[in-house]
């Protein structure tokens, strides 16, 4: 358990690159002890926001605070960062590189060596400690990069697309580590486009678009809020044409014969069932939660 | 055996020894590693690289140093720790550079080049054995003349042997057969078969000239009516003492400045290019993002140039020490005289030159992202260095600096070359030297401030080259 669970506060962040507005008065908070998914379409300003936390982007306005105190160099030493475009010395040995980064985060030589050992073991890359980074596979480089962000037991962990390009085993391994860190009291934020994984890993999500906050809340809240969803399967029907004719009903998805419907408040589900039975034998009829992908699409539409 | 060969053989032996020892140690480590691996194997993870109890001899299986083992890198890290983040960054530079193959091979090449520069003149000297010069004598020759010619022969590295010929005809025959180099006829004439300047002539032209001159002088003594004793007195006269009013000015040899200037240029360009490439690589591999998330840009920049600077100084000191020892061992006069001062000045100027240029190159590196941009960046930066270098080389060999050269000796970009040459030529007073050093330090500080500003803006700016105007326009917050 980290001694000081903290909260990351971003307030009124503004950043403009020429004519492009990257951040437009963006504010939100990230509490400790949870895994927070940071979502948004490409170019929404996710990377700029994360870089701003580490002072890697100059802000035109706004402030980043950790436990109420503006973030400075000393605070950043206790943060861990995994940038979107991975950054390690290609020709340096994995173990020595991690020890070096650990020392730069304030660990003693011995502690850095021990933490390196532990993390390489935990992320199952201990047998590559004497290899050069450039000889590692993409997945293993990603693991080493994650180890670099976690070595010094950071209070805040910010990861830009940590799951991209990984195979399912890699996603599971890294996802488990992130959840463990949050359970241990850290503040974990990561961006991703793999919404299924985000749904599995995160308690909360924050969605931004055009540099502005769109939605923020727990996954449960977001999935149970909004219009009702119905999944209906009718023998012999593959297109869901019948549902499109119903007033107040939108077909959000048709997959493998199952039609996913979004119902307006005014629609009675019994009417839908009757319409379905008019087409053929109904084999499935169930209410469903809003999926995170739907939350996302509706938020940024 | 000549001392040169002894040194060469010893050098060869030592380097082979070092290589063998390293191979042996590596083999020992591997073996220990595979034993440790074999013990660990049964408990190892199912996906560990062991097949049916047999340990795969992948390089990864070689002894990982435990967290408490004192590796060289960790010892260096401990040293760096005492100097904070900049120390850590500098020590990483030092260990990574010193371990790199490029550095090791480069050092060996420089050492070999220096060794050759010292050894070749020595070999040349020892290979010019005394050439036998058979001098025919027709008629009588005074002992004084024989003595003088023999002495002149020694000075010209000739081994003079006098052969008495009974007649002029016999002497002519011997000359034609090249049994004689030349002949002295009747104590009044020097006879040759063909002009001594021709390569086919066995006669040493200088010796011929000397013999002719002495013959003339002795004849003049006789005409002047000197007694043999008086003539002998004149022959045995000693040179009067030569006194200089200012020591250290005017050197017979300009070898030190020339070798020194070449070495300085090679090292300066090499190490400055390292900073350029190093910064560029940190930027292009994006590792700079990870580093700057925890250290300040100025710390990263300062650590880098400091680390490479330490390596440069170490290598330069090694080369100079090697050169001095080798020259001493061979008794070479290449580095003799009051040159230690010039050598010390060279080392100091190497440091000052690096300190001035490294910032510039680092700032340039931070604006690039690809290898192919390096040439375009490095070329304009190296122009002032090239001017100083070429100009200094000409002045060092001519030995006479002009006013423009003396002005260049006070400008930080060219001072490392020009002032070193002035010092080696004994044409700079201590206060002139000091003034140039102070100007250079001031210039370095200004350059560092300027470079840090560019670096901070540019190093995090990805996607294409950064324009200089853009970098200088906005003022940063960090």
Name the residue among A56, A67, A261 with its Cα closest to residue B291. Answer: A56
A195 pLDDT above the threshold of 90: no
User: pLDDT tens, B290-344?
Assistant: 999 999 998 999 999 999 999 988 988 898 888 888 887 877 665 555 567 777 8
CB contact under 8 A, A130 and B64: yes
Residues 246-285 of chain B with CB under 8 A from chain A are: 281-282, 285
Per-position DSSP letters for A76-96, written without gaps between them: HTTEEEE-SS----TTSBHHH
* Confidence class for position B245, pLDDT limits 50, 70, 90: low
> Among all residues of chain B, which has the CA nearest to that of A113?
B67
From B75's Cα to the closest Cα of chain A, the distance in A is 9
Of residues B209 and B61, the one with the higher pLDDT is B209
Residue A191: predicted pLDDT: 94
From B376's Cα to the closest Cα of chain A, the distance in A is 24
Rounded CA-CA distance A218/A202 in Å is 8
B364 pLDDT above the threshold of 60: yes
From B472's Cα to the closest Cα of chain A, the distance in A is 15
* Alpha-helical runs (H) found in B41-83: 72-81
From B402's Cα to the closest Cα of chain A, the distance in A is 49
B89 touches chain A (CB under 8 A): yes
CB contact under 8 A, B64 and A110: no
From B89's Cα to the closest Cα of chain A, the distance in A is 8
Residue B12: predicted pLDDT: 65
Rounded CA-CA distance A230/A233 in Å is 10
A200 touches chain B (CB under 8 A): no
From B258's Cα to the closest Cα of chain A, the distance in A is 37
* Confidence class for position B39, pLDDT limits 50, 70, 90: very low
Paired sense of beta strands A228-234 and A258-263, if any: antiparallel
Per-position DSSP letters for B130-191, written without gaps between them: PEEEEEEEES---HHHHHHHHHHHHHTTEEEEEEEESSHHHHHHHHHTTS-SEEEETTTEEE
A249 pLDDT above the threshold of 80: yes
B91 touches chain A (CB under 8 A): no
Residue B305: predicted pLDDT: 93
* Confidence class for position B251, pLDDT limits 50, 70, 90: very low
Rounded CA-CA distance A21/A30 in Å is 23
From B24's Cα to the closest Cα of chain A, the distance in A is 19
CB contact under 8 A, B290 and A87: yes
User: pLDDT tens, B155-212?
Assistant: 777 788 888 888 888 888 888 888 888 888 887 888 888 888 877 788 888 888 888 8
Residue A49: predicted pLDDT: 93
Residue B41: predicted pLDDT: 39
> Among all residues of chain B, which has the CA nearest to that of A108?
B81
* Cβ-Cβ contacts under 8 Å, B473 against chain A: none
CB under 8 Å to A136, separation ≥6 — which residues? Answer: A94, A125, A128, A144
Q: Choose among A55, A85, A110: nearest Cβ to B478.
A: A55
Dihedrals phi, psi of B161, to nearest 5 degrees: -130, 130
* Cβ-Cβ contacts under 8 Å, B286 against chain A: 83, 85-87
B43 pLDDT above the threshold of 50: no
* Confidence class for position A127, pLDDT limits 50, 70, 90: very high
Range in A98-112, A116-130, A163-177, B57-71 the model is least confident about: B57-71
Paired sense of beta strands B131-138 and B182-185, if any: parallel
Range in A45-49, A95-99, B15-19 the model is least confident about: B15-19
A10 pLDDT above the threshold of 90: yes
Across the range A90-99, mean pLDDT stands at 92
Paired sense of beta strands A7-17 and A61-66, if any: antiparallel
Residue A81: predicted pLDDT: 94
Cβ atoms of A229 and A260 within 8 Å: the answer is: yes
CB contact under 8 A, B293 and A79: yes
Residue B94: predicted pLDDT: 92
> Among all residues of chain A, which has the CA nearest to that of B278?
A89
B413 pLDDT above the threshold of 90: yes
Q: Which percentage of chain B shows pLDDT scores above 90?
A: 22
User: pLDDT tens, B264-290?
Assistant: 898 899 889 989 999 998 988 889 999
From B286's Cα to the closest Cα of chain A, the distance in A is 4
Supply the mean pLDDT for chain A.
89
The kind and range of the H/E element at A235 are: none
Of residues A297 and A190, the one with the higher pLDDT is A190
Domains of chain B: 3-119+254-477 (no CATH), 129-244 (3.40.190)
Range in A20-34, A129-143, A237-251, B252-266 the model is least confident about: B252-266
A129 touches chain B (CB under 8 A): yes
* Confidence class for position B223, pLDDT limits 50, 70, 90: confident
A105 touches chain B (CB under 8 A): yes
A148 pLDDT above the threshold of 90: yes
B3 pLDDT above the threshold of 60: no
Residues 63-102 of chain A with CB under 8 A from chain B are: 73, 76-77, 79, 81, 83, 85-92, 95-96, 99-101
Residue in this structure with the two tokens 């007195």, named with its chain if needed: B233
* Cβ-Cβ contacts under 8 Å, A92 against chain B: 96
> Among all residues of chain A, which has the CA nearest to that of B296?
A73
Residue B249: predicted pLDDT: 43
Residue A71: predicted pLDDT: 92
CB contact under 8 A, A85 and B286: yes
CB contact under 8 A, A87 and B294: no
CB contact under 8 A, B67 and A108: no
Q: Which percentage of chain B shows pLDDT scores above 70?
A: 76
User: pLDDT tens, A283-295?
Assistant: 999 988 888 888 8
Rounded CA-CA distance A154/A187 in Å is 9
Residue B9: predicted pLDDT: 63
* Confidence class for position A82, pLDDT limits 50, 70, 90: very high
Rounded CA-CA distance B357/B338 in Å is 30
Neighbours of B5 (CB within 10 A): 11
User: pLDDT tens, A271-280?
Assistant: 889 988 988 8
* Confidence class for position A132, pLDDT limits 50, 70, 90: very high
* Confidence class for position A50, pLDDT limits 50, 70, 90: very high
B47 pLDDT above the threshold of 50: no
Instruction: Convert B21-48 to b/e letters by CB count within 10 Å (16 or more is b).
Output: eeeeeeeeeeeebbeebeeebeeeeeeb
What is the spatial order of strands in the sheet that A249-255 belongs to? A249-255, A258-263, A228-234, A282-288
Supply the mean pLDDT for chain B.
78
Of residues B239 and B194, the one with the higher pLDDT is B194
* Confidence class for position A254, pLDDT limits 50, 70, 90: confident
């Amino acid at each position: 358990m980290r001694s000081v669970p903290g909260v990351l506060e971003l307030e009124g962040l503004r950043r403009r690159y020429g004519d492009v507005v990257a951040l437009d008065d963006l504010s939100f908070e990230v509490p400790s002890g949870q895994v927070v998914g940071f979502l948004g379409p490409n170019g929404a300003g996710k990377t700029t926001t994360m870089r701003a936390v580490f002072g890697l982007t100059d802000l035109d306005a706004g402030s980043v605070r950790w436990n109420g105190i503006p973030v400075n160099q000393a605070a950043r030493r206790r943060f861990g960062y995994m940038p979107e475009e991975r950054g390690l010395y290609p020709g340096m040995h994995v173990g020595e590189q991690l020890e070096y980064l650990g020392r730069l985060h304030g660990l003693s030589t011995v502690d850095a060596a021990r933490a390196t050992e532990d993390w390489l073991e935990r992320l199952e890359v201990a047998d590559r400690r004497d290899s050069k980074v450039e000889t590692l596979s993409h997945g293993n480089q990603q693991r080493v990069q994650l180890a670099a962000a976690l070595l010094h037991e950071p209070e805040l962990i910010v990861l830009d697309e940590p799951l991209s390009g990984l195979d399912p085993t890699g996603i599971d391994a890294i996802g488990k580590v992130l959840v463990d860190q949050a359970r241990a009291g850290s503040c974990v934020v990561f961006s991703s486009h793999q919404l299924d994984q985000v749904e599995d890993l995160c308690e909360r999500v924050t969605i931004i678009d055009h540099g502005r906050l769109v939605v923020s809340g727990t996954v449960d809240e977001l999935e149970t809020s909004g219009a009702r969803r119905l999944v209906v399967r009718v023998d012999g029907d593959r297109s869901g044409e019948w549902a499109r004719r119903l007033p107040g009903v939108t077909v959000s998805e048709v997959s493998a014969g199952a039609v996913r419907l979004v119902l307006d408040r005014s629609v009675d589900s019994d009417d839908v069932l009757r319409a379905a039975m008019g087409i053929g034998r109904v084999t499935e009829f169930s209410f469903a939660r809003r999926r995170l992908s739907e939350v996302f699409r509706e938020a940024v539409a | 055996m000549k001392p040169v060969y002894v040194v060469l053989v010893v050098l060869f032996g030592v380097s082979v020894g070092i290589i063998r020892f390293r191979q042996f140690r590596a083999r020992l480590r591997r073996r220990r590693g595979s034993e440790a691996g074999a013990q660990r194997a049964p408990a190892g993870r199912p996906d560990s690289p062991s097949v049916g109890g047999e340990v795969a001899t992948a390089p990864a299986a070689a002894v990982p140093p435990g967290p408490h083992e004192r590796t060289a890198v960790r010892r260096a890290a401990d040293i760096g720790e005492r100097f904070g983040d900049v120390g850590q960054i500098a020590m990483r530079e030092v260990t990574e550079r010193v371990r790199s193959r490029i550095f090791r091979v480069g050092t060996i090449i420089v050492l070999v080049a220096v060794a050759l520069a010292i050894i070749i003149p020595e070999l040349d000297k020892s290979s010019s054995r005394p050439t036998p010069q058979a001098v025919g004598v027709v008629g009588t020759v005074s002992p004084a003349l024989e003595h003088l010619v023999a002495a002149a022969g020694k000075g010209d590295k000739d081994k003079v042997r006098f052969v008495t010929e009974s007649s002029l005809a016999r002497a002519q025959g011997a000359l034609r057969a090249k049994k004689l180099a030349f002949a002295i006829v009747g104590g009044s004439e020097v006879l040759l078969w063909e002009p001594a300047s021709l390569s086919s002539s066995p006669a040493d032209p200088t010796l011929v000239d000397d013999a002719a001159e002495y013959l003339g002088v002795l004849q003049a003594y006789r005409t002047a009516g000197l007694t043999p004793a008086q003539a002998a007195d004149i022959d045995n006269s000693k040179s009067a003492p030569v006194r200089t009013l200012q020591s250290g000015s005017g050197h017979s040899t300009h070898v030190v400045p020339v070798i020194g200037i070449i070495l300085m240029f090679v090292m300066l360009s090499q190490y400055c290019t390292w900073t350029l490439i190093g910064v560029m690589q940190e930027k292009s591999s994006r590792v700079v993002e990870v580093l700057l998330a925890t250290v300040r840009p100025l710390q990263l920049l300062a650590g880098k140039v400091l680390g490479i600077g330490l390596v440069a100084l170490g290598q330069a000191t090694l080369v100079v020490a090697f050169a001095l020892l080798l020259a001493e061992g061979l008794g070479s006069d290449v580095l003799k005289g009051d040159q230690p001062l010039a050598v010390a000045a060279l080392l100091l100027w190497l440091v000052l030159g690096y300190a001035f240029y490294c910032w510039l190159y680092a700032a340039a590196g931070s604006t690039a992202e690809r290898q192919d941009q390096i040439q375009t960046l490095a070329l304009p930066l190296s122009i002032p260095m090239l001017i100083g270098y070429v100009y200094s080389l000409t002045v060092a060999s001519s030995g006479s600096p002009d006013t423009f050269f003396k002005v260049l000796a006070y400008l930080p970009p060219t001072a490392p070359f020009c002032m070193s040459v002035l010092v080696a030529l004994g044409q700079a007073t201590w206060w002139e030297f000091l003034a140039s050093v102070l100007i250079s330090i001031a210039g370095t500080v200004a350059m560092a401030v300027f470079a840090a500003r560019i670096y901070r803006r540019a190093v995090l700016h990805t996607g294409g080259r950064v324009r200089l105007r853009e970098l200088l326009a906005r003022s940063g917050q960090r």
